[in-house]
Chain A
Amino acid sequence: MADLGVECAGMRLGNPFLLASGIWGESGESLAGAVRAGAGGVITKSIGAEPRAGYPNPTIETYSEWGLLNAMGLPNPGIDEYPKEVAIALRAGAPVIGSVFAGDAAGFAELARRMAALGVAGLELNLSCPHAEGFGTEVGSEPRDVEEIVRTVVRSTRLPVIAKITPNTTDPAALARAAERGGAAAVSAINTLRALAINVRLRRPVLAHGLGGLSGRAIKPVGLACVWQIYEAVSIPVIGVGGIATAEDALEYVMAGARAVEVGTAIAFDGIAVFERLSRELSGLLDELGYARLEEAVGAAHPSKGNAAPASAGRGAISGAR
């Protein structure tokens, strides 16, 4: 059985599958449930300074197999109410990463400081929600803003800081480089792609907010391209996210350069049991390909790594292919 354990941004993960922010993250018991279901770590809902109801429904549009469109609008109970949820989540034993959002660097730093005090293992900065006025993409689209926010947060905490990068830009790698300059321990990519659905019979957008973010299988190739470019551009770890529903999806991200991956929308289609299945199938896939450890496969598809074959493998037909 291949070793799925990874070291990422100073955190030791039993497997590379993290619960993505926004999914199952409002309640501590849900976060703990994701750990029990096999997540290697969990990322909280993005928490802000104040309680926030988010947008009215409809907040979601579903597509049969290939994805979801959502505009939740960053609902969260606020940092004052959140400690009790984190305390419950921590009891499950896996790393809990606190996701935070704010409108400026000082706001991020204050939330990061308060989240860090709750005992989380790391912080993820939401610089990429595509549909919340004044937050997310609106503060995370310019490299200099990303660098300033990350630098300010890094100065306020000793915890590893992960910058979650938007794909809704021409050059995600430039944002990742900015995060690295600011002192980020890792970058995660991607958040959802800005998207829209219209109901023709009602002649109106489906989502109450109009624009939303697309997630799920449809966005995997986009996420892979971003991770690929970011891996070439930075030397800090990359966490891949976007459309991962199978072990092969995950390994694509790893070979594109990700050290860990986040899983979200797959839970809507396969339930929380998806974590156990992903680990089991990834282990089998690595065995089949001759990898003893997942970490050997990180970036393996990059020519700069010589399209690295498994260190532990012989000249199998697959591992030897160029």
Chain B
Amino acid sequence: MRTVVRVAERVEETPSTVTLRFPYEAPAAPGQFVMVWVPGDDELPMSLSYVNGPRKGVTVKVMGATSRRIQQIGPGDLLGIRGPYGNRFDLSPRRILLVGGGSGAAVLAPAAEAARARGGEVSVALGATRSSELLFRERFSAMGARVEVATDDGSEGHHGFVTEVADRWIADAPFDVVWTCGPEVMMRKVLASAAGRSVPVFCSLERHMKCALGMCDACAFGPFHVCTDGPVFSAEQLTRAEDFGRFHRDASGRRVPL
């Protein structure tokens, strides 16, 4: 069953990213996602960027026709929501490194807030194409996290890949865990940096989804289903999924190179 919600607030986070806040009572945890239905259009999986309390939120980047539709949605518009689905970040580690690329910060921000609330130390390597596209930078700073940014065009912070910042930090500082979300090529580099330094890494993944119930196989990913076994996967699990960083499946189930 879906709950029809009325959008309460729309925030333009960056030129290409919008947050929608809406009342949704179901308890949720950082890492989980909801299925968001735009009536008359598609229904898409979206990680919750605000998980606490009755006012949830999702943060959307324009990628396809439906996310463009979602970007036009504002206060008063109706959405159908079901979920939350999927697993969550384990919040128990104390010293946490977050590596976020592009809209990947959307799922990392609530996880970082929850970790901070438990007294965790949070460091954030945040990457984007350019300065104006850095997502939730102020939100990370406001929670008392150490933040370093990287931009592809050098308009702010490190000129280059966020993974270069992450690699330096992982080499220098002892972290108990690394959480990362972003393009899979980026996450593969993060895994490579952590490999051999015995830091566990957890990646939040995205795949085409239909049922979100672990049934239809649309989000099949190696021996897993992203909707029920994920979306958060350990580095060890990812070694068992040949798909990771190589291909996803389109709506027909065909393998499409990433």
Contact = CB atoms under 8 A, between A and B. Distances in A.
A58 B213 CA distance: 13
A265 B215 contact: yes
A210 interface: no
Nearest to B225: A30
Interface string A268-289: 1001100000000000000000
7 contacts: A29-B220, A58-B43, A58-B80, A64-B1, A68-B213, A70-B216, A267-B214
A57 B44 contact: yes
A11 interface: no
Interface residues of A, number: 44
Contacts of A26: 216-218, 220, 249, 253
The 9 closest A-B pairs by CB, nearest first: A26-B253, A57-B43, A27-B220, A53-B251, A26-B217, A268-B213, A51-B252, A77-B253, A201-B4
Given A53-B250, A58-B2, 13 more contacts: A26-B218, A32-B223, A51-B253, A54-B210, A56-B41, A59-B211, A60-B212, A75-B251, A199-B4, A202-B80, A204-B40, A206-B2, A271-B228
Contacts of B255: 77, 81
Interface in A62-104: 62-64, 68, 70, 72, 75-78, 81
B10 interface: no
Interface in A244-303: 264-265, 267-268, 271-272
Contacts of B44: 57
Interface of A: 22-27, 29-30, 32-33, 45, 51-54, 56-64, 68, 70, 72, 75-78, 81, 199, 201-202, 204, 206, 208, 264-265, 267-268, 271-272
Find the residue from A33, A61, A72, A75 having the highest chain B CB count within 10 A.
A75
A271 B212 CA distance: 12
Given A45-B253, A53-B250, A75-B253, A204 B39 contact: yes
A27 B210 contact: no
A102 to B, nearest CB: 16
Contacts of A32: 223
B43 A78 contact: no
Find the residue from A29, A59, A70, A76 having the highest chain B CB count within 10 A.
A29
B210 A57 contact: yes
A282 B228 CA distance: 27
Given A33-B223, A75-B253, A45 B213 contact: no
B78 A53 contact: no
A77 B78 CA distance: 34
Nearest to B240: A29
Nearest to A32: B223
Contacts of B37: 57-58
B119 interface: no
B130 interface: no
Contacts of A52: 252
Contacts of B214: 267-268, 271-272
Nearest to A207: B43
A78 B37 CA distance: 28
B236 interface: no
Contacts of B82: 62
B221 to A, nearest CB: 8
B168 interface: no
Contacts of B251: 53-54, 75
Contact of A78 (B40, B80, B254): B254
Nearest to A272: B214
B27 interface: no
A263 B254 CA distance: 24
B54 interface: no
